[in-house]
Amino acid sequence: MNWTIVQPLIKATPETWARIASCLSLVALVFMVLPLFVDSPLLLVVGMSLSHVLGLMGVLCFAVAVLKEVLAVHRPIGSGATQNDTKNGVHSPEGK
Amino acid sequence: MSSLGVLTLIAAASAASILLFYLWRGPLLSLKWRLALFLGVAVLPTFAAGTSTVDGLERTTQRDFCGSCHVMEAHYDDATNLQSTSLAARHTRNHLFGENSCYKCHANYGLYGYPLTKMEGMLHVYHYYLGEYGSMTLEEAVGKIHINKPYPNRNCMHCHTGQGTFWQGVPDHASVKEDALSGRISCSSAGCHGAAHPFAKEAQDAMKGSHDWSKIEEVTP
């Protein structure tokens, strides 16, 4: 397995995971809505299948984001940073 | 658009607005945003998925959906032809079948009938898009396409129970009752009620060279 691809995901912040979840859910929503407007049997079948898969992946990514946030596993040990320690919307070890 | 479609749109639009706002602002994952994203990623899409799936499955039971593949045009046209006397056309003119006449006759009415019918419907999608049906002309399709397995008499008897005095009073029914119940003779046999679709009969004739529908099990896959 190519760990160089996986490692950035493991180290990613909860916000990154939440963005991935948001994007997946948005695409899933498109596939849920599209068959309502386009009269195509193929789109109906593919749309229903893909929307469920992508939606589930979105929920899983969101669960990872929440777990990382709650457990704070994404922050360097000893940095002293918490989820409320922000500076201009970015996690800051200074605590400001 | 159906009421379920409208509900799907409302739920999807609400979820999309939350998600787009989050992507646009890019805030930290505070408790407030966690709850908002829970709505936008999990709750609303789950609701939208449910309503869109029910709406989509409902649409697959409509005759227009069946007729949307070109290889079914002959069957569709015959069923909707007011002058046709085929079984399919006569049942389609009955309001109890109406817009869902294909589904009402071809559905599986067992305990898990609905999902089983839908799963079997996926075979049609496979044959059309990944098999040879999609590239067939209508003339080729009429000659080649045939029912996947023998049409079960129990689907006929779902409505025509065979318990009434009128049904039992028909001499032919009395003489073939056992064979009809066991499936050895099809209700749509030549000499009985005839093929439901004239094209299906022609296709079977081309394959078998005769009208011996009592042995239909031997020729259909």
Search chain A and give the residue with CA nearest B68: A41
A22, A47, A86: residue with CB nearest B19:
A22
| pLDDT, chain B, mean | 82
Check whether B144 has a pLDDT greater than 90. no
What is the enclosing helix (H) or strand (E) of A86? strand A86-87
Chain B residues closer than 8 Å to A62 by CB: 37-38, 41-42
Q: State mean pLDDT over B78-84.
A: 87
Q: Chain B closest CA to A2's CA: distance in Å?
A: 29
Chain A residues closer than 8 Å to B55 by CB: 36
Q: Cα–Cα distances in Å, from B71 out to A94, B99, B135, B142?
A: 69, 19, 9, 7
Chain B residues closer than 8 Å to A36 by CB: 1, 5, 8-9, 52, 55
Q: Specify the higher pLDDT residue, B28 or A89.
A: B28
- For chain A (96 residues), the mean pLDDT of every run of 10, in chain order, is 74 88 94 86 85 93 89 60 49 46
How many C-alpha atoms does B102 have within 13 Å on its Cβ side? Answer: 23
pTM of the model: 0.70
Chain A residues closer than 8 Å to B41 by CB: 21-22, 25, 58-59, 62
Q: State mean pLDDT over B40-49.
A: 93
Q: Chain B closest CA to A79's CA: distance in Å?
A: 18
A8 touches chain B (CB under 8 A): no
All residues at 6 or more sequence positions from B198 whose CB lies less than 8 Å from its CB, including other chains: B78, B86
Inter-chain CB proximity A52 and B37 less than 8 Å: no
Residue A91: what pLDDT? 52
Q: State mean pLDDT over B27-41.
A: 88
Q: State mean pLDDT over B200-221.
A: 47
Inter-chain CB proximity A14 and B30 less than 8 Å: no
Residue B196: what pLDDT? 82
